[in-house]
Structure 1
Amino acid sequence: MELDLYIGFISFFFTAVALVVVFLYLYAIVTPYDDYKLIFEDNNIAAALGFGGAIIGVAIPLYSALVHSISYSDFVIWGGVAIFIQLIFAFIVTRLGGKYSFKTKISQGVIPVGILMAFLSIAIGLLNAGSMSY
């Protein structure tokens, strides 16, 4: 009996981690700038803040999916929905142009814009999580 609990934990936990890794890969594709270059090579704090917020933003609805799912497959489906919603948000926000261009400002390292991107990602994650509380 206890072995089943450990297997269940391991299955859900590592699937959740895998979903976050998939999100990290897809997020870097969805954003019009090179997140990893900006963070690891250019030491761009704005990009790191925005990216960190995106990670928290996806972890929140993944947590909700873990808590509210009725089965492993239910969790995987809702986890996929969570990732999709967060990626759509990132795609739209980073495509805004003009003086409110996240692409330009984050690439330039404007820290307040990185903070705003992080908070927006977290807010969308909270709304995403609340919406899947069935």
Structure 2
Amino acid sequence: MTSLAGLPAFLLTLATAVGLTGLYLVIYTVATAHNELALIRRDVVAAAVALGGSLVGFTLPLAVAIYNALSVLDCLVWGLVALIVQIALYWLVRLAVPDLSRRIEEDRIAAAILLGAVSLAGGLLNAAAMTE
């Protein structure tokens, strides 16, 4: 049964990744001035686009952190770095578009696409930087 020998490490890493992703979603939704989940429940596409781009922008570097991690602690540290970068990207977009939350609440897709694109681009750069 050596094929299952790595199962405990896999489960620990997966639980860490799921926990970090949950933490990210909580912190991100608290950091924004709008309630993404309530908006998504009302079929506000802009909220789903912005949150979806942000989530993928976070999980890209998290996946690289998992791949390169020497330990679960290493994965945690780099996952937290990815979280901080994504929150900072949100605030940078808010500086450029001060009424970002109002636009998303009004389902104005351009602002959501910008936020999602910045989140994805930042996530890709963050992931690439973690390979050094």
Q: Please confirm whether the aligned pair reaches a TM-score higher than 0.5, indicating the same fold.
A: yes
For 1:97 and 1:56, the matched residues in 2 are separated by: 21
Aligned residues: 131
Q: Retained in 2: the 8 A contact 1:31–1:94?
A: no
- TM norm structure 1: 0.89
Alignment partner, residue 26 of structure 1: 27
Match of 2:127 among 110, 126, 129: 129
Contact 2:89 2:118 in 1 (8 A): no
1:94 alignment counterpart: 94
Q: Percent identity?
A: 31
Q: Deviations over 1:87-124 (max 9, x none)?
A: 121133235455xx322211211112212211111101
The AA in structure 1 aligned to 2:16 is T
5 Å-filtered alignment, 1:1-134, equals: 2-40=3-41, 42-97=42-97, 101-134=99-132
Deviations 1:5-63, CA, capped at 9 Å, x for gaps: 111111111110111011011100111111111111x3210011000001100010001
Deviating 4+ runs (over 2 angstroms): 1-4, 94-98
**Structure 2 unaligned residues grouped into runs of 5+:** none
Looking at structure 1, the residues matched to 73 and 87 of structure 2 have their Cα atoms a distance apart, in angstroms, of 21
Return the letter of the residue paired with 1:13.
L
Q: Tell me, which stretches of 5 or more residues in structure 1 are unaligned?
A: none
